Each structure stands twice: as structure tokens, then as C-alpha cells.
Amino acid sequence: MSETSAPFWDATRDRRLVIQWCTACDAPVWFPRDVCLGCLGDALEWRAASGRGEVYAFTVENKPAMPTPFGDEPYVVALVELAEGPRLMTNVVGCPPQSVTVGMPVQVTWEELSDGRNLPLFEPA
Ligand SMILES: [Zn+2]
């Protein structure tokens, strides 16, 4: 965990999804960075995200290459486009993998981590 992304992970302790905004561009910045890639300025602040979005792209993984919290069941790796614009690589849970479609509305849900932080995942909205 880098210092830059620390506010993101701190917020997950309260199950809050936050993203960086560049106040100069008035645009979201994702992944957490020290400067805005749009203007190279550092006028960045953290804002609460709605936690809503839609599936932009996804794949169904049938045989995990590594141990995952999801066991041996097929799971969905998705690029979710937040209502605010950024796209997050995440998992879609809470529904059969074969029911996931591009454009499907999703909302954030949280997977508890052992250290008190929470991992943002998405479920059908
Ligand atoms: Zn900017």
C-alpha cells in the first residue's frame, strides 16, 4: 500500500468508497496518484463516490490461477465504470456469473479483510 492510496484504504475501514478528484480539471483521478494526468497539477482531493456504476467489460474465470476468497467456483473479473467515470478492476459477486452482462447496473459491496480494511466488490444494483 502506497502513501498515495492510503486515504482510499482508510475509507474502506468505514466501508466508504472514495476517489481522487483534480480540482483544477474538475475530473476524477483513478488510480490514486500524486499528480493529475490531465494537467500534471497536484490539486487533488478525495471525494465520496456513489458506489454505483455499470459493468464495462468482464470475464468469467473458471479455474483460479491463485487461491482466492471465492473458492473453486467460477467468478467474475470485471471492469466496472463508476457513475463518476473511473473504471475499477474488481469482482462482481452476488449473482450467477453467467447472468453478468455488459452494461449491467452494479453497486459496491464489501469483502472484509483480516486487518480491518474492506475490499470493494460489486453486486447487481
Ligand atoms: Zn487536472
- Over residues 96-115, the pLDDT tens digits come to 999 999 999 999 999 999 99
Q: Average pLDDT for residues 24-52, to the nearest whole number?
A: 95
Distance 94 CA to ligand 1 centre (A): 36
CA of 117 to the centre of ligand 1 (A): 29
Contacts 24+ apart (CB under 8 A), 62-71: 69/111
- Dist. CA 78 → ligand 1 center (Å): 27
125 Cα: distance to centroid of ligand 1 (angstroms): 31
pTM for this entry? 0.87
- Among 21, 12, 30, 20, CA closest to 108: 12
**Ligand 1 centre and the CA of 24: distance in Å?**
5
Query: What mean pLDDT is predicted for residues 60-78?
Result: 74
Give residue 99 CA to ligand 1 midpoint distance, Å. Answer: 38
Q: What angle do CA 30, 83, 46 make, to 5 degrees?
A: 45
Distance CA(83)–CA(105), nearest Å, equals 10
pLDDT at 4 over 80: yes
Q: How far is the CA of 64 from the centre of ligand 1 (A)?
A: 38
Which residues are within 5 Å of ligand 1 (an ion), measured at CB?
22, 24-25, 36, 38-39, 41
Lowest mean pLDDT among 17-21, 23-27, 42-46, 60-64: 60-64
**Is pLDDT at 1 greater than 60 in this prediction?**
no
On the 0-12 / 13-18 / 19+ scale of CB atoms within 10 A, 86 is middle
